[in-house]
Amino acid sequence: MRKEHKPLFIKRLEQWCNHYYVQYNIRPQFDHLGKTPFLLKPRHLQLTGKHLNAGDHLHVICDRNKPVSLSTWSSKQQQGHISIGDYCLISPGVNISSAVGITIGKACMIAADVSISDSDWHGLYNRTRPFRCSAPVHLKDNVWIGARAIIGKGVTIGKNSVVAAGSIVVNNVEDNCVVGGNPAKIIKQLKPERRMLSREFLFQNADERYYLDQQNALHAWLLHGNSFCHWIKTRLLPSRKD
């Protein structure tokens, strides 16, 4: 479709259903989930295991064809955990799997189809013992991971750093730099003295009610004038104008 034809009352009904689903299905699966989570198509968020924690204003975009997966695994020797800071964005197709620990700082952005794992899951010689080859992963504050990047075990990515799309990161990344390639190497240094706006800026001086009111006002403007009958028509018999 060239535009959104959905009427406002349908959009608000969807929002209510999503809110109900998040509060009574998704939230209990987290050990902690902060205030005002925004989950688009939350039925396609796959959560496995325990020790899942996320901060305030978590933004997860799921899709039927690209679900988001957060999973932790247990053994006699170790227990995986995933900790996600405030203001983070997780895009469709992201897969985060932990055997010992993955920590994601605040205001991080993870683009589509990114894979983050803290384990090789099988040894080179003993492939029957999956938990002997693991090391924690740490993304510091305001890290941006580009689409289809892979973050391997034992990696720490420094504050404000960017991982280019399609990169494979197997070594630590310094603060304030851009890395890319396979294996990822520094291709640019950022200037730490320059002012940098992160996702945290979007939520400054805004309480939960303000954030929801802003969302509702945006939807009212985008969907103004849409009728139920025309929406049904576009679903069944769309034209070039639709």
Dist CA 103 CA 140 (whole Å): 8
Higher pLDDT, 91 or 122: 91
- What is the predicted pLDDT for the residue at 208? 59
Please count the residues of the chain: 242
Higher pLDDT, 16 or 132: 16
Model confidence at 60, pLDDT cuts 50, 70, 90, reads very high
**Domains of the chain by start residue, with CATH:** 1-30+205-242 (no CATH), 34-198 (2.160.10.10)
Average pLDDT of span 77-90? 94
Dist CA 162 CA 180 (whole Å): 9
pLDDT at 1 over 70: no
Dist CA 151 CA 199 (whole Å): 22
Number of DSSP helices (H) and strands (E) in the chain, helices first:
3, 20
Radius of gyration for the alpha carbons in the chain, expressed in angstroms and rounded: 20
- What is the predicted pLDDT for the residue at 166? 96
Average pLDDT of span 12-27? 90
- What is the predicted pLDDT for the residue at 50? 93
Q: Do 22 and 39 contact (CB within 8 A), yes or no?
A: yes
- What is the predicted pLDDT for the residue at 92? 97
pLDDT at 82 over 70: yes
- What is the predicted pLDDT for the residue at 9? 84
Q: Do 94 and 68 contact (CB within 8 A), yes or no?
A: yes
Model confidence at 131, pLDDT cuts 50, 70, 90, reads low
**Active site residue ranges:** 122
pLDDT at 53 over 90: yes
Average pLDDT of span 125-148? 88
Dist CA 169 CA 3 (whole Å): 38
Average pLDDT of span 41-69? 95
- Each residue of 168-223: pLDDT tens digit? 999 999 999 999 999 999 999 999 889 888 998 888 766 656 667 777 777 778 77
